[in-house]
Amino acid sequence: SRPILDMSYSRHFLDFQGSSIPSSMKKLVVTKLSQNFREAVTLQQDSPVPVPGDGDLLVRNRFVGINASDINYSAGRYDASVKPPFDIGFEGVGDVVALGLSASADFTVGQAVAYVKAGSFAEYTVVPARQAVPLPSVKPEFLTLMVSGATAYISLKELGDLSEGKKVLVTAAAGGTGQFAVQLAKKAKCHVIGTCSSNEKGGFLKSIGCDRTINYKTENVESVLRRDYPEGVDVVYESVGGKMFDLALNSLATKGRLIVIGFIAGYQNPTGLQPIKAELLPAKLLKKSASIRGFFLNHYLSEYKMALKDLLKMYERGDLVCEVDFGDMSPEGKFTGLESVFRAVDYMYMGKNIGKIVVELPHSVNSKL
């Protein structure tokens, strides 16, 4: 084992509030490949707490983020070579409770950090210091920026070509990523249209600057777009897939751009896909000089730190709403503890959330003082 540095210099391997770091912890592990999260994932009660290496931090997770692609990961869709068991969860916010010697050059015990790394659905996660983002405090709002905010920011900047007066359609606009696409398009002085599934979500979207909301449960999205935007929309920020993808494609203006950041409607299927009317695609694109671009955050990591820095500044200035949904309105109440990750994933796929779904991991601190 590599050296652990305890910045209090008193007891070896203490956390900053004076409670011993336990030797075992709870974590979620994929034990069987399946898009059914409950079938794929097991809550392990007594996994060993990992030991950080020389350049690593041991982070005690306080908040973890739920992403639509959690079920793609549990189905083994990202890397066919990885076999169960493996850790799951993409992002967390917490406190540094121990660290290696090299890592202590930039971090200290007690520091608040956020990170994006597989294995966040655990009470403790080892994070390479170079991947950790120092934060002013442990707040769930910071977690919304790590994957969701960065995805919206980089995809619109690199692929959106936004400018004043452009019409931008955001599908699933009240979701974790949609909320940022709406706000960033608005900041670029665009006219923003957002689809959502309830009047409550519509109200939230108007509060963050959406010019036109379309509740697809009560309105026909295609008819509304044809009637109110006969020339089409310039940019579509699309994360739903299936019929919504077809509709978005048909609604593009001349030289319009469709940015695909996901297709959540298909993820629960065994193939992970939902049929689209692709045979007409070449003709439709040609007719409008339109384009479709896919966006996967991992391919744009060179832009990540800059994007996050800008997003954090915007949030701290009060220029960005980072809506967090803890599931307070879900039947069994707030998402607290790793066991509630299963409910949180279900809640996302029922389309209930407004903003980013976050699970809180409370820790009892036994003071030794």
Strands 167-170 and 191-196 turn out to be parallel
Q: Is the pLDDT of residue 7 over 70?
A: no
Range 146-299 classified under CATH 3.40.50.720:
yes
More confident of the two residues 42 and 110: 42
pLDDT of residue 100: 86
pLDDT of residue 3: 54
pLDDT of residue 366: 46
Q: Report the DSSP beta bridge partners of residue 95.
A: 60, 112
| Beta-sheet strands, E only, within the chain | 4-5, 24-30, 41-48, 56-65, 86-87, 91-100, 112-116, 124-128, 133-135, 167-170, 191-196, 212-215, 233-238, 252-260, 291-294, 324-325, 356-360
Q: Which two three-digit tokens encode residue 361?
A: 């991991």
User: Rounded distance, CA 198 to CA 153, Å?
Assistant: 25
pLDDT of residue 13: 47
CATH class of 24-138+323-360: alpha beta
From 328, 319, 317, select the one nearest 355 (Cα to Cα). Answer: 328
From 150, 149, 81, select the one nearest 298 (Cα to Cα). Answer: 150
Q: Is the pLDDT of residue 356 over 90?
A: yes
pLDDT tens-digit readout, 167-176 = 999 999 999 9
How long is the chain?
369
Q: What is the mean pLDDT of the chain?
A: 93
Q: Report the DSSP beta bridge partners of residue 168.
A: 192, 235
pLDDT tens-digit readout, 323-347 = 999 999 999 999 999 999 999 999 9
Confidence of residue 364 (pLDDT cuts 50, 70, 90): low
User: Rounded distance, CA 169 to CA 235, Å?
Assistant: 6
Domains of the chain, by residue range, sit at: 24-138+323-360, 146-299
pLDDT tens-digit readout, 45-85 = 999 999 888 899 999 999 999 999 999 999 999 988 999 99
More confident of the two residues 232 and 20: 232
- Contact (Cβ atoms closer than 8 angstroms) between residue 192 and residue 182: yes
Q: Following DSSP, what letter does each residue of 23-58 receive, concatenated?
A: SEEEEEEE-S--SSHHHHEEEEEEEEPP---TTEEE
Q: Which two three-digit tokens encode residue 109?
A: 């015990």
Confidence of residue 11 (pLDDT cuts 50, 70, 90): very low
pLDDT of residue 126: 96
User: Rounded distance, CA 133 to CA 317, Å?
Assistant: 18
pLDDT of residue 74: 97
Q: Is the pLDDT of residue 5 over 80?
A: no
